[in-house]
Amino acid sequence: MDTYLAAHCQNILNNGFAIVDAVYSPAEVEAILNVIKAVDPSNPAFRKTEDLFAIRQFLKEVPPTVPLIFNDNLKTLINNLFGEGYFAVKSIYFDKPELSNWFVAWHQDFTIVVNQKRDIPGYGPWTVKHNQFGVQPPLDILRDNFTIRIHLDDAGADNGALKIIPGSHLKAVYRPETINWQVETETLCPVAAGGVMIMRPLLLHASNRTTNNQKRRVVHIEFSRAKLPDGIDWAEKMNIP
């Protein structure tokens, strides 16, 4: 592993995240956006309001994006930073329009999406959202999972770039109301279009409202290599092409 990748590996290990620039060229970003623009927004899997356009099960619902998303740069990152055996388990496209004015409070990502609900020790609580079964798995699964956020627009302080608390992924369950701001440091994570942010799901993160009337379009993909117990399986499992 070269020095560049080794530094990202250490950032993920110690801080819970890394930002990698220029994973996609401007032409590749444009190609992904062109495929998305061609979709039928009336699809029931899509959510369209004045504040948000979202496509759940994105890789499944918009399959022409799969070879564009999994370019050689992304596959090299995944293999070098995490190793083999991982597969995509959840994918969402977010389009936060220019006039969107909502924010996301501090939280960790505890929920995975599975194909059905079963009473299994260590799994719970359960939720049902958008006709999908969500459940909190054992923490060991969450510690090994990772998320890649692919930025199709520049994201900065004025249009909802994520802010995180470095190292918070190492503290297991860390309730936002217990954050000790005397010892913790809030870090903003600006990402240029074509770059990616890689993060562990247990990393505390949030985002502010947009104030500069700029779009923030992101493809959010979660990865795992965990085999779930008999009776349930990943709802959106897709092998990396």
Query: What pTM does this model have?
Result: 0.94
Helix count and strand count (H, E) for the chain: 6, 15
Residue carrying the six token digits 């994520």? 162
> In order of start, what are the domains of the chain with their CATH numbers?
3-239 (2.60.120.620)
Q: Spell out the residues 6+ positions from residue 63 whose beta carbon is closer than 8 angstroms to its own.
A: none
Burial of 91 (0-12, 13-18, 19+ CB in 10 A): buried
- Average pLDDT of 28-41? 93
The pLDDT of residue 54: 86
Q: How far apart are CA 135 and CA 109, in angstroms?
A: 11
- Which one is predicted more confidently, 101 or 220? 220
- Average pLDDT of 27-34? 98
Task: Give the rounded percent of residues in the chain with a pLDDT score beyond 90.
Answer: 78
The pLDDT of residue 46: 78
Q: 151-166, pLDDT tens digit by residue?
A: 999 999 888 899 999 9
- With beta carbons less than 8 A apart as the criterion, state whether 224 and 82 touch: no
The pLDDT of residue 49: 60
- Which one is predicted more confidently, 103 or 16? 16
The pLDDT of residue 129: 82
Q: 173-189, pLDDT tens digit by residue?
A: 999 999 999 999 999 99
Q: Spell out the residues 6+ positions from residue 48 whose beta carbon is closer than 8 angstroms to its own.
A: 41, 54
The pLDDT of residue 131: 78
The pLDDT of residue 120: 95
- Which one is predicted more confidently, 102 or 53? 53
The pLDDT of residue 44: 72
In the structure encoding, which two tokens stand for residue 159, read together? Answer: 């249009």
The pLDDT of residue 96: 74
Average pLDDT value for the chain: 92
Distances (CA, A) of 208 to 40, 80, 161, 205: 29, 32, 7, 11
- Maximum distance among all Cα pairs of the chain, rounded to whole angstroms: 49
In the structure encoding, which two tokens stand for residue 239, read together? Answer: 């092998």
Q: 88-129, pLDDT tens digit by residue?
A: 999 999 887 655 566 789 999 999 999 999 999 999 999 998
